[in-house]
Structure 1
Amino acid sequence: MRPVIYNDVLAAVSVVAGHPPECRATVATALIREADLADAYRQAQGAAHPVFGDGSLVTAALRHGRRGPVSFQCPCGLAAWIAVLEALAARAARRSDQDRICACGGPCGHSIP
């Protein structure tokens, strides 16, 4: 997946919030998987994936029609934020297990002063 910025997360949260609570974690994980798949395709083929896009999370999210609230003041929206952030954290943990370098340039799991 391409580097994640706020708009990527916001788009994913909107999609996740449009699903029932019991589906949110699965939907968040699926969006991230689609972005990962698209990015691998983009790197191998030099072009965007024909279905999942360019490898960004926002592009993966925008292909889904369901939308829901993204407000922190709405329990549904807040739960969607948590589901997306937990899915991203799980992905980061898996990648750090593989000795990847985090976006800040250091090894994942280090402490930042």
Structure 2
Amino acid sequence: MRESSGLRDKCPYKHSICSMRKHKHICQALYPIRDVIIIRRSRTAISVEILRAAMEGAKKTHIVYRANLNFEVVNRYLTMLEEKGLIEKRDNLYITTEKGKEFQEIARELGL
């Protein structure tokens, strides 16, 4: 964003007329930087993160926050990981199995 020369300029985000020097931080907070690179995680990386969260046993909510996913996505992954025997559910806790720990180890060695 270019600096204002003291004149009231049109904000580049077109939300109002403002003195860009005084309101630059507000403009950036309301309209974040456009050139942010979004990197998507692979299915393997997400699975490893879920298994890591459940290493000592974790509720679904903890897994959601730790893996930075929503409940819908976590439910799909937990179902898949249970079917493959990488995680198991005991009461309200999900726990990484020995097979899941081996999967994590292999993924780490391969840099996935």
Q: Is TM-score (shorter-chain normalized) higher than 0.5?
A: no
Q: Which has the higher helix share?
A: 1
TM bucket by the smaller chain? under 0.3
Report the TM-score when normalising by structure 1. Answer: 0.25
Greater Cα radius of gyration, structure 1 or 2: 2
Q: Which has the higher strand share?
A: 2
